Amino acid sequence: MPIRPKDTTVPRTDPRLRVVAATPISEELIGLVQSIEPRIDFVRDQALLPPMRHPGDHGGDPSFSRGDAGQARFEALLDTAEVLYGVPDEKPAALARTVAANPALRWVQTMPAGGGAQVKAADLDAEQLERIVFSTTAGVHALPLAEFGVFGLLAGAKSLPRLLEQQRTTTWSGRWTMGLISEQRILVVGLGTIGRETARLLHALGATVIGTSRHPGEVDHVAEIVHPDRLAEVVGTVDGIVVTLPGTAQTDKLLDEAFFAAVRPDTTIVSVGRGTVIDEDALLRALEAGRIGCAVLDVTAKEPLDPSSALWRHPLVIISPHTAALNAAEDRLIAELFARNATRFLDGEPLINRVDTVEFY
């Protein structure tokens, strides 16, 4: 059984930190990282890193190939690292290979906010999980995902699916009432960095926010906090739901048949965490029953979403291809976060966003 990570890091004696780029990063951002933390030796071979097609494209162009000789050079470079900037090629199997081959590896900075899922998929043993600290980029994506959460709630409140259909069919119908976010009660499922930012934006719009957390206490802009076990009790009191939870064994299909049976008719649901949190079959039945009036999904249980999925064609569903978090500042923000964490690592201080290697979030 892996040991839950402690809140401290062992102080170092080596004054330098050897970081190897395992994922694409520009020379400009490498310079930024080293300007923030000059004790870093940032090793990279740009010829071995796939070109990025857009900001946040940490896997790079899938048509890129190193060839056998290039792959051997890439792996040899990774095996000299004390720290990896990114999971190699964003592939858990490549992470597992590197961890096994490099006993000097001590820290891996994953690129996704949900990087714990990559670590879990690598199926590392207890010694490896104890030896290496893993961190994520949680917080970097909070504002864009919170804005998408608000967008989704507005889409439901303002009848966006109906408007799009009427425009498509050139239908000028009779008028109807629309919802007011300022008059609504919104449930934020998960009060991590994304959930808290969502609550802040919703509070500014005048909404009443309730949220879920396993830990008691107060959270700014949240009127009420309930334990996830009480979801079915409170969901019938809200007009909209924003799901921000990571994908873990504890959250898998947390929003299930019982949850959707308890929702108020015409409730809007927005999903920006991980698609596995929602039982998609139960969601479809709730849509058909009129219990969900609009579903706005940036994430699905399996990605890409299968073309045969009924979610694609449902008139009350809006699909975003897991793109809500992407923005022009993402790569810079990740680099700055990594630099701050490198300072903490070098100084023996707790890392920001350390992965819990029991629940992998």
Is position 358 within any domain? Answer: no
Last residue of a domain, one of 284, 302, 319: 319
The HSE-up count of residue 252 (CA atoms within 13 Å, CB side) is 7
Question: In this structure, are 176 and 233 located in the same domain?
Answer: yes
Q: For residue 340, which of 330, 350, 331 has the smallest C-alpha distance? A: 350
Position 156 in a domain: yes
Asked if residue 353 is part of any domain, the answer here is no
Question: Domain limits at 107?
Answer: 17-140+328-346
Q: What single-letter amino acid sits at 126?
A: A
**222/220 Cα distance (integer angstroms):** 6
- Considering the entire predicted model, what is its pTM? 0.88
Is there a single domain that holds both residue 198 and residue 270?
yes
**Is 105 in the same domain as 170?**
no
The answer to the question of residue 3 being in a domain is no
In a domain, 5, yes or no: no
- In this structure, the answer to whether residues 82 and 168 fall within a common structural domain is no
Do residue 203 and residue 315 come from a single domain?
yes
Total number of domains constituting the chain: 2
Looking at the fold, whether 33 and 123 belong to one and the same domain comes out as yes
Say if residue 162 is in the same domain as residue 268.
yes
Domain CATH code at residue 114: 3.40.50.720
Per-residue pLDDT of the chain (361 residues; tens, 9 = 90+): 444 445 445 555 779 999 999 999 999 999 999 999 999 999 999 999 999 999 999 999 999 999 999 999 999 999 999 999 999 999 999 999 999 999 999 999 999 988 999 999 999 999 999 999 999 999 999 999 999 999 999 999 999 999 999 999 999 999 999 999 999 999 999 999 999 999 999 999 999 999 999 988 899 999 999 999 999 999 999 999 999 999 988 999 999 999 999 999 999 999 999 999 999 999 999 999 999 999 999 999 999 999 999 999 999 999 999 999 999 999 999 999 999 999 999 999 999 999 999 989 8
Check if the beta carbon of residue 70 is closer than 8 Å to that of residue 48. Answer: yes
Q: Is the peptide bond before 304 cis (omega within 30 degrees of 0)?
A: yes
Same domain membership, residue 261 and residue 341: no
Is 299 contained in some domain?
yes
Helices then strands, counting H and E runs in the chain, come out as 13, 12
Contact between 242 and 295 (Cβ < 8 Å): no
Residue 160 lies in a domain: yes
